[in-house]
Amino acid sequence: MALLDTLARPLKALRVSVTDRCNFRCNYCMPRDKFGEGFSFLDRKEILSFEEIVRLARIFVGLGVVKVRLTGGEPLLRKDLPVLVRELTQIPGLAETAITTNASLLKKWAVQLKASGLARLTVSLDSLDPARFEANCDSGVPLAQVLDGLEAGRAAGFQRTKLNCVLRRGVSESDILPLADFARENGYILRFIEFMDVGTRNGWCLDSVIPAEQVARIISRQWPIERIWKPAADCVAQHWRYLDGRGELGLIASVSEPFCRGCDRARLSAEGSLYTCLFAANGLDLKGFLRSGATDEDLVAILGARWKRRDDHYSELRSEATAHAPRAEMFHLGG
């Protein structure tokens, strides 16, 4: 019998942050004025070991999870990540292991990740304009390095790679059509994401959001698109296809059209806390249970009880007032 929360949502997907560190300082996630040189990230002993991640993933799969996505921070900063991927892919019942990355290190790791059994890549890419890209990510990493990473992923055999673009009014309008064209030409699935108030340090305000409906109109004027429905295929993105047959497009409208009622995700932060919503302030300390001798049966009971109590639906409640409520930062809980 499926494990359901208070809103009858099953547990199907697990996001695992393998590090809180990132080599980018994107101003909608880790702005440098808030996360500069003096910011203290987690010490190595504070983050979950591969053995602990695999143990928890196995238990989550037993409770219904079929997809695990590795995130961060930037997950490719975690040493020996392909080793973790290989161990995860051997869990019976886990259908897919994927990763979200900024691709700056992907050229180095693409072949090993593919050989380890990684199924899919999602790459964050907010602009194809070199100057605007570098201003957005504030890292010194050139756009060409990310594009080389994408090409390395293709050469390694990754198919149907997704590109994620976070849109902000006054910043991103001129990037919409170039990114769509790039994705169409190269066979990528582009997903435009409404700017969300994840965490409390990214300067979010409602006026900064470019609604998905507006994005659809902009693209359709250049290349006509139509909405398609994929029941249970993705609880997050609206799916669209180009009428000329050249690919698909995703629009993630967490602000303008909340999808809380279809959310089947749990998140495991780098230091081992369970979050049941992207906008949560606090998590359940699973590392404490792991390191104090909890058995698998104990953990099954703890996780099952927590999911059954889950009633999160922040995006349906969002307002300018809630923007000031405490929330964990995106890089901390894994996006």
Token couple for 167: 């849109």
329 band by pLDDT with thresholds 50, 70 and 90 = confident
98 band by pLDDT with thresholds 50, 70 and 90 = very high
pLDDT of residue 334: 67
pLDDT of residue 37: 80
This prediction's pTM: 0.94
285-303 per-position pLDDT tens digit:
999 999 999 999 999 999 9
**What H or E segment, with its residue span, contains residue 189?**
strand 189-194
207-254 per-position pLDDT tens digit:
899 999 999 999 999 999 999 986 654 568 899 999 999 999 999 999
22-34 per-position pLDDT tens digit:
999 998 888 888 8
Percent of residues, the chain, with pLDDT higher than 90:
80
Separation between Cα atoms, residue 26 and residue 327, nearest integer Å: 18
pLDDT of residue 260: 92
Token couple for 301: 């009971």
pLDDT of residue 57: 98
Q: Is the pLDDT of residue 330 over 90?
A: no
What's the rounded mean pLDDT across residues 93-115?
98
List, edge to edge, every strand of the sheet that includes 265-268.
225-228, 238-242, 248-252, 189-194, 162-167, 120-124, 96-101, 67-71, 13-17, 265-268, 273-275, 284-285
43 band by pLDDT with thresholds 50, 70 and 90 = very high
What domains appear along the chain, each with residue ranges and CATH number? 13-333 (3.20.20.70)
The overall average pLDDT reported for the chain is 93
Separation between Cα atoms, residue 24 and residue 62, nearest integer Å: 35
User: In one letter, which amino acid is 43?
Assistant: D
SS3 250: strand
176 band by pLDDT with thresholds 50, 70 and 90 = very high
CA angle 6, 251, 126 (to 5 degrees): 120
